[in-house]
Structure 1
Amino acid sequence: MTAASDASRLIALRLVASSALMLLLELALIRWLGANVVHLSYFSNFVLLGSFLGVGLGFLISRKRWTVVPVAMPLLALLVSAVLVFPVTIQRQGSDVIYFTAMKVSGPPAWLALPVVFLLVAVIVAGPAEMVGRCFGAFAPLTAYRYDLLGSLLGIGVFTLMSFLRAPSVVWGLVVSLVFVVLATGLRMRLVYAVSGVIVVGMLLSETMTAGVSWSPYYKVQTQPSRSGPGALSIWVNGVPHQTMAKASWRLIHAPQQYGTPYQRLPKARLDNVLVVGAGSGTDVAIALSKGARHVDAVEIDPRILQLGRQRNPDHAYQDPRVTTHTNDGRAFLESTHTKYDLILFALPDSLALVNGASQIRLESFLFTQQALEAVRDHLRPDGGFAMYNYYRENWLIDRLAGTAATVFGHTPCVDNFTSHQAVVAVALQQSNQVCGTAYRPSTKVVAPATDNSPFLYFKGGMVPWLYVWSLLGVIVVSLLSVRAVGGPFREMRPYADLCFMGAAFLLLETKNVASFALMFGTTWFVNALVFAGILVIVLAAVETTRRVRTPPLPVVFAGIAVSLVLAWVIQPDDLLGLPFWPRLVSASVLAFLPIYLANVAFAKRFADTSDSQSAFGVNLLGAIVGGCLEYAALLTGYDNLLILAGLLYLAAFLLTPPWSRMLRAPR
């Protein structure tokens, strides 16, 4: 009895460790590949979808006699080496979706890089997933799922800690390699894993030791001297030029159009109190001080770039007693402060990455919506004004931003266009307080303002871009072929079709919640990590509830899901923004997590009745791939209406639930 108990405990520990490795590896690959393969900066869920395919395939393979585990670590070494040896940069093509990218093309093209990365990620993640799947068979389904969730929480906790510490890539490579070696079975596999780990750590160490390379919670940051005056520094992130730190005096002489125009167009702004959103390394703050600002609130989301500004800004702007820095999301700061400003500047706030777990949310997405500019307007003093400037890439984007400002402020803004689509949009609270150079007339058909529900500033509208359509179709086709090859005929998986629909619906709920919390609390890495951790905790709570408490029959649970989805759809995130922090947090958590809790009670009840937990769990995760592709429907419907799509998927899941599980019966 004791020996059996010890064996069970060892299997449980292996399950938890394998699950932690699986999630840590997934998150690390999303972050690291996005930093080094520029295509992936705009397809953050591409690696996520590859990971889901890998997890699903790993669980299906765990039912087989053959294994993919021995090749997982060598393939990881191959992937890391190939990415660092053959770096990729791209130029965006087409104007329907705007990308902020490098100035020249190098490395493999997107049509080659994306499929190779997708397939390699799938096979690599399938290794630890297979380890988890083989442990599943030793426990009752819900007990195994419980250990899997505990491991996932451990994995996300380790990744969050590394993000907090701004750990370089070599750290996650070392941690992942060590866990792989510990979990290896047999001397030969342990040796192969050790050699592969040395390659991974060695390659990542060379990246870490490269002069000027550091990591923030969002980017791989690279710095190098710039020719933009004495003490100037060029800052690149994820392989793309991001900003140049230079003296304010040099900027005003050599680039007066961009940096000086806001002050020319808004001459009556007293500058007693200035807000700079996208303060970066401090150049825009230094310019505001040189123009006579008595106090500046400098908001920058990236702590590493803010640190570089404190350490190396030639004007020492952040050491000035007139400046207060805030490491925060710009929209979240506007919603949390009651300060009134004479001048608010959006100083080139463009991100070069997407928020993990959301197909189209960028760090600045909620900063340029109509509701965000309304918040700007409400924070201006009577003689105050607002300006935003950047290299906007396309005329239609300039016209869209100008149109949004006109809609919010009730009059036409000043719009100054310079070379390379460089533009300044400036508008005073009172039209009489702005002095425009020439009358503004849009040069393109003005696209309607982005909204908090559809915060896709760089999406021109219309149909989903073909770039996404072909990519997602490829994901689905490859996934179907892979599942058929590994899992056998689809008719054998038909009993778990309802779990597939549950997986797709759950992914949509997760995406909607990431977007909602990003709007209400900021698109910071910490908020994002808390959302994912919160979802895992709620899922674990649902599993424990099903294991320990007499729950209602499935029809009642599905009815509860429907009611909770309707409630979340009726009460919009914008309705909660005016609440104080704690009431807003409680309300947002209830609306977001109640449908997730009930959905996972339904999943746990159904999962407990399965005779083949590996296949059932694998099919559920493969359904998540479909959900990940359906995320892009938000481009057409907005995020709120994803709840309707999720509701339809849960309805399909209910209708496909085997009658013997769906019948009204006594609680168990």
Structure 2
Amino acid sequence: MTAAAQSTPPHRPDTRSEHWLDTRPRLVVASAFMLFLELALIRWTGSNIVHLSYFTNFVLLGSFLGIGLGFLRVGRTDRPPYYSPIALAALVAVILLFPVTVDRHTEGVLYWTSLSAGGPPPWLILPVVFVAAAVVLMGPAELVGRCFPELDRLEAYRYDLVGSLTGIGLFTALSFLGAPPVVWGAIAALAYAVLLRPRGLWPRVVLAVPSLVVVGALAVETLTAGALWSPYYKVTHSRFEQEGVPVMDIQVNGIPHQRAVPAVNRLEWERQYALPYERAAGGRLDDVLIVGAGSGTDVAIALSKGAKRVDAVEIDPRLRELGGAHHPDRPYADPRVTTHITDGRAFLEQTAKRYDLILFALPDSLTLVSGASSLRLESYLFTREAMEAAREHLKPGGAFSMYNYYRESWLVDRLASTVQAAFGHKPCVDVVSTAGQQAVITAGVTERAQSCGAEWAGATAATPPPSGDDRPFLYLKDRTIPQIYVVTLLLILIVSLLAVRVVAGPYRRMRPYADLFLLGVAFLLLETKSVTGFALLFGTTWVVNAIVFAGVLVAVLAAVEVTRRFRTPSLPAMYGVLLAGLALAWLVPDSWLLGLPVPARAVVAVVVAFLPIFAANVVFAKRFADSADGTTAFGANLLGAMVGGCLEYLALVIGYQALLAVAGLLYLGAFALLPRTARAA
């Protein structure tokens, strides 16, 4: 701890409650519940409201607002936050009674499988979800915040971090086990009961009724939908016959996603599935790689074409399980097939094997990477660097092909020009149907290794340039933030300003902690860069994502422990270390890291990513330890994180690497606002 904190500790009034749990375990439980509930809300709302499959940041921002408000409410009331379970029950009921499917055709943001609008309009349901998420999370945050005055600043922060790690671990374990939301609801009900400790008939009724509503509604959803819960989707399926042919229809998050059909019928019904084999002039199929293998139809087709060995890469284990159990051709039971449950780009970067044919088979994820506002699961598959990686894994005479319903002609041309840039010659482009721009793009490792039906006309002046690993936004036509994002984020900020004023009182309470606010803004950008960077280096899988978030919390906890136990350099010196860490992260490109062996890549990536995170949190810990009002200081920092979540969208224009520069400017601003009395700390 700093010398100032040791000699003149902030005054802590005797606020110890009569709760049956001691302060420390209560703080751990409340913090674990807070993070668990946040993750569960993001996961569950996205599975029932189509917009939120792509705008997961929307719920995250509401959660940050609620957590910040919860801390700011500490000391203003002693009433238990029964409003939180009531708001949760209302949110669950509204979403299940009025599920939303949305037509997502726009020029700014392109999505697959667009459906007609159903349920409440977006302008109504999205604000409801945002406000409800804030109110729900405000309750656990208030319970966490009430523990802070009872402990030393950094000790309280330490147990808060331990609880957060516990919450992430619990939710990750449930994701691994495929636990349905009714289990999440039961855990939430139990946590509310433990933390709110209702006494008397009325408080027990106020808690029991919404808890029963949540658990009961989620149980009904689980039993009636027959859903499988993968780490990414709510997966439902039905089996029937079409023209006498057995078919398995798969929906994810309520959206039609895949159909498992016998290979012979698929080839008869849809010409695009045969074109990669016709355009590959080499003819050999000793080794085939299929990325986006899904339920297995593309694998079955490769086998029917004579493939001797097939590596089937699929990111979602539940889709693979459904294909293994119910696909009419049973392709995954064939000894020629090896399954890899991982991210396609990560597989390409980590394997040394070469192939006669590499096929990207309709890899459209329908969801975003958690913690990254605009990064989809397949974003790093369609960059120029990914196409170059595919080319490097082809045998002499081999070919690469991909197909999908691309919806827009400019997108077909963009992908074709990306392949051209990576392979050095024009690919074969077959637009099978202009309705939905159903197209197949095929390129041989050399021009002689492909056999085109007609020459592609080439990109036009209106064709966007190829996307790259730093800006992997294939479906964003222009280098801009779409208007839908701008308007939504402005409304979020306006609502947040009003909410802070209403719930927490005058803004002057937070004025002394303006530097902590900016630290929160900058740290969220730093965390986003870490999440997206590790997704590129090691895959966009849920396991990598969970490890990165846990790693960030471990780095923060380490910073707190170092600050508590050792005399650390002054704040100006630590700001210097922080800026040096940002400079190092800026100078070490991801392309260089991708060239390293996986073990070395992991070591270097951890050092580069977590050095500035560690330094930033030593800065925060030292400043927080000497704050006069711990809960207000912490609340200001959390509200800053919410603003940082809004600024993430700058990456759509400037790329992820440039977020480091924005974070650096924010940290300089925080240093400029640092009180003079704190500079010697």
Same fold (TM over 0.5): yes
- Offset of residue 9 of structure 1: 7.0
Kindly report which structure 2 residues correspond to 1:92-491, keeping only aligned pairs within 5 A, or say none. 92-187=104-199, 188-228=202-242, 230-256=245-271, 258-419=272-433, 420-442=436-458, 445-491=462-508
- Offset of residue 572 of structure 1: 1.2
Q: Indicate if the aligned counterparts of 2:80 and 2:196 stay in contact, CA closer than 8 A.
A: no
Q: Indicate if the aligned counterparts of 1:535 and 1:596 stay in contact, CA closer than 8 A.
A: yes
Counterparts in 2 of 1:392 and 1:285: CA distance versus 1, 3 Å: same
- Offset of residue 390 of structure 1: 0.4
**CA offset digits 1:330-361 (Å, max 9, x no partner):** 00000110001000000000111101100111
Count of matched residue pairs:
660
Q: Distance in 1 between matches of 2:239 and 2:314?
A: 22
After superposing on structure 2, the runs of 4+ consecutive aligned residues of structure 1 that deviate more than 3 Å are: 4-9, 226-229
Equivalent position of 1:591 in the other structure: 608
Which residue identity is paired with 1:311? A
User: Among residues 650, 663, 670, which one is paired with 1:653 in the alignment?
Assistant: 670
Q: Indicate if the aligned counterparts of 1:55 and 1:129 stay in contact, CA closer than 8 A.
A: yes
Counterparts in 2 of 1:223 and 1:102: CA distance versus 1, 3 Å: farther
Equivalent position of 2:59 in the other structure: 47
Equivalent position of 2:549 in the other structure: 532
Structure 1 range deviating more: 78-87 or 486-495: 486-495
Equivalent position of 1:620 in the other structure: 637
3-state SS of the aligned residue for 1:221?
A: strand
User: Among residues 559, 563, 567, which one is paired with 2:580 in the alignment?
Assistant: 563
**CA offset digits 1:510-546 (Å, max 9, x no partner):** 1000000000000000000000001011101100110
- Offset of residue 96 of structure 1: 2.2
Identity score, percent = 57
Counterparts in 2 of 1:193 and 1:480: CA distance versus 1, 3 Å: same
Q: Indicate if the aligned counterparts of 2:67 and 2:134 stay in contact, CA closer than 8 A.
A: yes
Q: Distance in 1 between matches of 2:186 and 2:582?
A: 42
**CA offset digits 1:572-625 (Å, max 9, x no partner):** 122111211211111000011110000000000000001111100000000001
Which residue identity is paired with 2:337? V
- Offset of residue 68 of structure 1: 6.8
Q: Indicate if the aligned counterparts of 1:508 and 1:631 stay in contact, CA closer than 8 A.
A: yes
Q: Distance in 1 between matches of 2:235 and 2:25?
A: 37
**CA offset digits 1:47-68 (Å, max 9, x no partner):** 0000000000000111202647
Counterparts in 2 of 1:67 and 1:471: CA distance versus 1, 3 Å: farther
Which residue identity is paired with 2:315? I
TM-score by length of 1: 0.97
3-state SS of the aligned residue for 1:271?
A: coil
Q: Distance in 1 between matches of 2:409 and 2:624?
A: 53
3-state SS of the aligned residue for 1:93?
A: coil
Which residue identity is paired with 2:254? G
TM-score by length of 2: 0.95
3-state SS of the aligned residue for 2:510?
A: helix
Equivalent position of 1:57 in the other structure: 69
Q: Indicate if the aligned counterparts of 1:269 and 1:343 stay in contact, CA closer than 8 A.
A: no
Q: Indicate if the aligned counterparts of 2:56 and 2:368 stay in contact, CA closer than 8 A.
A: yes
3-state SS of the aligned residue for 1:448?
A: coil
3-state SS of the aligned residue for 1:232?
A: strand
3-state SS of the aligned residue for 1:441?
A: coil
Correspondence 1:81 to 2:96 = no
Counterparts in 2 of 1:66 and 1:110: CA distance versus 1, 3 Å: farther
CA RMSD in angstroms comes to: 1.5
Q: Distance in 1 between matches of 2:322 and 2:349?
A: 27
Equivalent position of 1:580 in the other structure: 597
Which residue identity is paired with 1:541? A
Counterparts in 2 of 1:623 and 1:556: CA distance versus 1, 3 Å: same
**CA offset digits 1:58-104 (Å, max 9, x no partner):** 00111202647111101111111110111100011322210124422
Which residue identity is paired with 1:378? E
- Offset of residue 8 of structure 1: 11
Structure 1 range deviating more: 516-525 or 73-82: 73-82
Q: Structure 2, unaligned stretches of length 5 or more?
A: 1-15
Q: Structure 1, unaligned stretches of length 5 or more?
A: none
Structure 1 range deviating more: 228-237 or 148-157: 228-237
Equivalent position of 2:559 in the other structure: 542
Q: Indicate if the aligned counterparts of 2:471 and 2:656 stay in contact, CA closer than 8 A.
A: yes
Q: Indicate if the aligned counterparts of 2:371 and 2:528 stay in contact, CA closer than 8 A.
A: yes
